[in-house]
Amino acid sequence: MTIGSTDNHDNGSPLADTPLPGATPLLEVNNLRAYIGTARGTVRAVDDVSLSLQTGQALGIVGESGSGKSVMARAIMGLMPPRSARSGEVTFQGRDLLALKKKEKLEVWGKQIAMVFQDPGRSLNPVVRVERQLTEGMRKHLGIGRSEATGRALQLLQEVGVPDPQRRLRNYPHEMSGGMRQRVMIAIALACEPDLLIADEPTTALDVTIQRQILDLLRRVQKERDMGMMLISHDLAVVAGRTDRVSVMYAGRLAEVGATRTVFDSPMHRYTHALLGATPTIDHTRHAPLRVISGSLPDPTSPPQGCRFASRCEHAQSDCLTPGPVLESVGADHEVACLHPVAPHPVKTLTLSGR
């Protein structure tokens, strides 16, 4: 399958995340498309997304279920499902990730870029004990011996809140709960001290208290190690307070990007605004009742030419049905792809209370 270039109403903009002067982006994604062939047609899961992430920066990716967050993360890593196609550019520390040979990929994955997958059950090898899964990468990538690797593994398990780590090292994945497996996945991802961590809903299997602990741990480690982190969640409260910048994704495209504080304090895309109003733990309008965004995502096999949120938007007008809109700058580190955005308002009521 090839991805045609007929759909040229760019939504992503290479300027979306304008780097600080002099800073080389750790990760740069330009015009990424990831299409998946299915029995019901070609799903345009990611449809022209551009973003960049600086060293030591945490970027949140938020959006409703089905908006394309996981497919985007996997496409960046070169992990595409069968019958799929990908186009665009992905550069990591200036290297073209999409052009890597298999051997080069193995060097980059795990060592320089690590990923925590949404489904920890499927990411761990069921027939290999935790110890080997944790130490193998360290021995290979960090060139350390077995006992040193085991020592580090114990420390990592402790860091991610695994009780009795000695015993856990001898476990097979099926001997642990979903939450425990998720923590092991996070420990494996951090083991080789990657430059970039892509964490896709890293705490879904955990209860709220543990979720907060793990998310705060990720943020702390990210800052301490000056690591880049892409934190993906459908829950805005997860990325609030734990990311420097955020990209709001809707139906395969970016609706709004910018400094997390700015986007959450003063959302301008109608979708971001609605999403914040539907998030119980972010007190966006404080006295307003919690609202639900009515309607559903457009059919990903035939998305509309115009704004993909238009059919659900109370403020849509006839021009919203024309091709576009594209991300446009509305202020310092703030871009919005909306023809009739929310008027910027002075910040007064927002409280970010990350879970």
Does position 60 interact with ligand ATP (CB under 6 A)? The reply is no
65 vs 302 by CB, closer to Mg ion: 65
User: Tokens 């290979």 appear where?
Assistant: 140
- Looking at 16, 26, 43, 205, which residue binds ligand ATP (CB under 6 A)? 43
* 303 cis-preceded (ω within 30 degrees of 0): no
Least Cβ distance, residue 254 to ligand ATP (angstroms): 12
- Looking at 68, 179, 194, 228, which residue binds ligand ATP (CB under 6 A)? 68
CA distance 23 to 26: 9
Does position 300 interact with ligand ATP (CB under 6 A)? The reply is yes
In 3D space, the residue among 72, 74, 78 whose CA is nearest the CA of residue 46 turns out to be 72
Does position 123 interact with Mg ion (CB under 5 A)? The reply is no
Does position 203 interact with Mg ion (CB under 5 A)? The reply is no
- Looking at 52, 67, 150, 272, which residue binds ligand ATP (CB under 6 A)? 67
Q: Is the distance from CB of 169 to CB of 154 less than 8 angstroms?
A: yes
String marking each residue 211-250 x if it binds ligand ATP according to CB under 6 A: -----------------------x----------------
Q: At what angle do helices 146-159 and 130-142 cross, to 10 degrees?
A: 120
CA distance 190 to 180: 15
- Looking at 63, 165, 179, 298, which residue binds ligand ATP (CB under 6 A)? 63
The residue type at 41: G
Q: Is the distance from CB of 233 to CB of 60 less than 8 angstroms?
A: yes
Query: What residue ranges bind Mg ion (CB under 5 A)?
Result: 69-70, 118
Query: What residue ranges bind ligand ATP (CB under 6 A)?
Result: 36, 38, 43, 45, 63, 65-71, 81, 118, 234, 300
